[in-house]
Structure 1
Amino acid sequence: MARYVFAVQSNAADGLEQEYNEWYSGQHLKDVLACPGVVGARRLTLADKQILPTPHVFKYFCLYEIELDDLQTFIDALMSRAGTERMPINKAMGNSLPVFWQVIE
């Protein structure tokens, strides 16, 4: 069985940070965890201290751990649920950058 990480960098919409965090931690994580193959998730926020003083575009980062034979199964489930009652998208969601990584064994 292959293992993947679904890494999502994101921001709250302007002025909606509290609502964004409540929605993401309280509902969205559970909705994504209900997709086939998702075995874990962790949310992070950008630390105040960094090695390099590089500007960072995103404040939030979420790692979803996925284990399944065909990543397309997860992608299809995610896309069919996004924006429905099974996975509502809150207006507090700002921009995001989702990327899949395959775990090297």
Structure 2
Amino acid sequence: MTMWRREGDMRAAMGEKTVPRYKLIVMTNAVEGRADEFNHWYTNVHLADFLKLPGVVGAQRFARSEAQRSDGPFPWDYLAIYDCETDNIEGVIAELTAKAGTPEMPISDALVPERFVCFFEEMTDRLTVSDKG
């Protein structure tokens, strides 16, 4: 039998204080011919810089899969998802705005300037599947 489990229920049962949770979704492209440089910077420099921001608790990158449900078009080749847990998302945004492009958070010129950047606030607990055979 498959059982659905809500992660928020587990956190509450363990007595964890819950704060608002957000996902920052960033979709990007590399300058043509500079994907290796872009990916090295993003993975080895930018993610670490981002994790220094208060309220940012996780980060993960993805590359667009060749397998898709439709033929596209798909304007973005890369996706980064940042996990934020904070009572002050405006403060996280202000800190990001202040640091981006400075020596504390340099931005590579191998990054195409056009990108999709948007914060999303959690609406539901995350559901997971567990088999209780």
TM-score, normalised relative to structure 1: 0.97
Q: Residue 28 of structure 1: SS of its match in structure 2?
A: helix
Task: Please tell me the root mean square deviation across aligned C-alpha atoms, in Å.
Answer: 0.8
Q: Which residues of structure 1 form unaligned runs of 5+?
A: none
1:77 is aligned to 2:95: yes
Tell me which protein shows more strand as a share of its residues.
Answer: 1
Q: Which residues of structure 2 form unaligned runs of 5+?
A: 1-18, 125-133
**Alpha-carbon deviation of 1:9?**
0.2
The one-letter amino acid paired with 1:79 is T
Q: In the aligned structure 1, how far is the partner of 2:54 from the partner of 2:31?
A: 28
The match for 1:97 among 112, 116, 121 is: 116
Q: Which residue of 1 aligns with 2:40?
A: 22
Larger radius of gyration: 2
The match for 1:3 among 21, 33, 37 is: 21
Q: Which residue of 2 aligns with 1:42?
A: 60
* Regions of 4+ moved over 4 Å: none
TM-score, normalised relative to structure 2: 0.77
1:31 is aligned to 2:61: no
1:54 is aligned to 2:72: yes
The one-letter amino acid paired with 2:31 is A
**Alpha-carbon deviation of 1:66?**
0.2
Q: Residue 49 of structure 1: SS of its match in structure 2?
A: coil
Determine what percentage of the aligned residue pairs are the same residue. 35
Q: Deviations over 1:22-54 (max 9, x none)?
A: 000010000111101001011000001011112
**Alpha-carbon deviation of 1:60?**
0.1
Q: How many residues align?
A: 105
Q: In the aligned structure 2, how far is the partner of 1:36 from the partner of 1:91?
A: 25
